């Protein structure tokens, strides 16, 4: 092999097969038991709460906030040398300290004593020979959870997180969708066990220009919140710890994101300087614990109510519902009998790629449905109802799925009143004469 004029001997490539065999040989029932024990009963709270619903009527106030992406970078006030000395003194790791500090920030934002955040494992610690020389992705995203925060000090949080990291090693290659399914949490857009990742990265090294050249540089972070921690020992006196906060699609402007970074640094310093300090202020422990319990109980009631409503009166499944359920079940490990009308593809751990597969399978059975319609109607009952409705009004679609003549009369009857009300809520006095189609 010749690279930029240099002769280079390449050894025999390490096969990906042993790693895949190892992953496939992990006992699923034991992995499920571990993750169910860790995340079972968790009730997620969004990092950036959704905007309030529109308020109608006179004097109603409507605030529209654009979803934004930001990247904010700061250097920690403490030198890297000082940080590393304190971490060693507490017998902790940089990752566990950063996770504890971020968990504290989440707890204070949500008034919660139960938080979950994500981290990425390299996958290189599994017992597979030659894995350090394998040129292939082995990483995975897994959750870390801190519950009963009102009973923990920062030091206890360090140790809890480090213990979880060790305990998770045998099961670290379990897919995140599977873990979310075990937790009873949907993983679609805006959902999931967590919406923040905390990563400790090594500083990028400059490439040897005589050997390498960058042909194309593409990449980005589309997770809602990503906290990158980058130690830079060779920068300044005593080194620098760089904190980079990426936000994607959140209702936060740049100033608010900078405030978040500043708050994180405060919790980080407090965790290092006062590790025996309680994470939740004593005066707020009872209030936060009660709020957390209320959220958890509310989730349990909603789940039970949904299951009861779904099977109310023993309503028989239609042939179309059975078909849709069977198609969806083919792309998940969940037994078909455990999939109800209200079960969504996200709850089953499926994503947009699977939505394409579901739509393709249904079209193969003669049902006209597109992948975006599967995503818009993600539950068995919703999707079956949508397909049935299109079948009842075949004039709205061509054989290729393109629009034909639309039933304007039905649309007008169904939507006129709601459109007028929403316009009023926006402060617009309008009279809807009728609906029209684009030219």
Q: How do residues 123-180 score in pLDDT, each as one tens digit?
A: 888 888 888 888 888 889 999 999 999 999 999 999 999 999 999 988 998 988 889 8
42-51 tens-digit pLDDT: 989 888 765 5
Whole-number Å distance between alpha carbons of 185 and 32: 15
Distance, first Cα to last Cα, the chain: 60
With 80 as the cut, is the pLDDT of residue 417 above it? no
User: In order of start, what are the domains of the chain with their CATH numbers?
Assistant: 21-203+221-294 (3.30.559.30), 317-405 (1.10.1200.10)
User: How many whole angstroms separate alpha carbon 70 and alpha carbon 248?
Assistant: 7
Q: What is the pLDDT of residue 35?
A: 92
- % the chain with pLDDT above 70: 77
> Residue 117 and residue 95: Cα distance in Å, rounded?
12
pLDDT tens by residue, 305-328:
555 555 554 678 999 999 999 999
**pLDDT band at 264; cut points 50, 70, 90:** very high
Alpha helices in 44-93 (DSSP H): 80-89
Q: What are the distances in angstroms from CA 362 to CA 29, 321, 330, 382? A: 31, 12, 12, 14
**Using one digit for the tens of pLDDT, what is the confidence trace for 79-115?**
999 999 999 999 999 999 999 999 999 999 999 999 9
Supply the pLDDT for residue 352: 76
Using pLDDT thresholds of 50, 70 and 90, give the confidence band for residue 203. Answer: confident
């Amino acid at each position: 092999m010749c690279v930029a004029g240099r002769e280079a001997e390449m050894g025999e490539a390490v096969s990906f097969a042993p790693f895949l065999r190892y992953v496939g040989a992990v006992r699923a029932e034991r992995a499920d038991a571990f993750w169910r024990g860790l995340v079972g009963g968790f009730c997620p709270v969004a990092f950036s709460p959704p905007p309030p619903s529109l308020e109608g009527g006179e004097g109603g106030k409507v605030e529209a906030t654009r979803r934004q992406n930001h990247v904010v970078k700061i250097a920690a006030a403490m030198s890297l040398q000082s940080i590393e000395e304190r971490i060693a003194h507490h017998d902790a790791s940089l990752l566990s300290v950063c996770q504890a500090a971020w968990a504290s920030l989440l707890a204070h934002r949500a008034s919660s004593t139960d938080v979950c955040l994500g981290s990425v494992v390299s996958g290189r610690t599994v017992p597979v020979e030659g894995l350090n020389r394998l040129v292939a992705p082995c990483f995975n995203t897994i959750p870390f959870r801190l519950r009963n925060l009102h009973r923990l000090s920062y030091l206890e949080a360090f140790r809890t997180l480090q213990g979880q990291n060790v305990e998770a090693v045998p099961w670290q290659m379990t897919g995140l969708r599977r873990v979310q399914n075990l937790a009873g949490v949907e993983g679609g857009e805006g959902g999931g066990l967590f919406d923040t990742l905390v990563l400790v990265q090594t500083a990028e090294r400059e490439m040897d220009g005589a050997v390498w050249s960058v042909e194309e540089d593409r990449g980005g972070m589309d997770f809602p919140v990503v906290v990158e921690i980058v130690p830079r020992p060779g920068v300044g006196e005593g080194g620098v710890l760089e904190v980079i906060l990426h936000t994607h699609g959140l209702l936060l402007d740049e100033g608010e994101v900078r405030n978040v970074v500043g708050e994180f640094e405060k919790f980080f310093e407090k965790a290092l300087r006062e590790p025996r300090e309680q994470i939740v202020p004593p005066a707020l422990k009872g209030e936060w614990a009660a709020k957390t319990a209320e959220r958890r109980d509310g989730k349990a009631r909603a789940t039970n109510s949904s299951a009861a409503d779904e099977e109310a009166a023993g309503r028989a499944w239609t042939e179309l519902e059975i078909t849709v359920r069977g198609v969806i079940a083919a792309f998940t490990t969940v037994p078909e009998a455990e999939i109800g009308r209200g079960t969504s593809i996200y709850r089953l751990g499926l994503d947009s790629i699977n939505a394409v597969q579901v739509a393709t399978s249904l079209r193969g059975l003669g049902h006209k449905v597109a992948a975006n319609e599967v995503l818009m109607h993600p539950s068995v009952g919703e999707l079956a109802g949508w397909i049935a409705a299109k079948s009842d009004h075949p004039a709205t679609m061509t054989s290729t799925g393109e629009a034909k003549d639309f039933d304007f009369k039905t649309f007008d009857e169904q939507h006129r009143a709601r459109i007028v009300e929403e316009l009023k809520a926006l402060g617009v006095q309008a009279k809807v004469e009728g609906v029209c189609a684009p030219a």
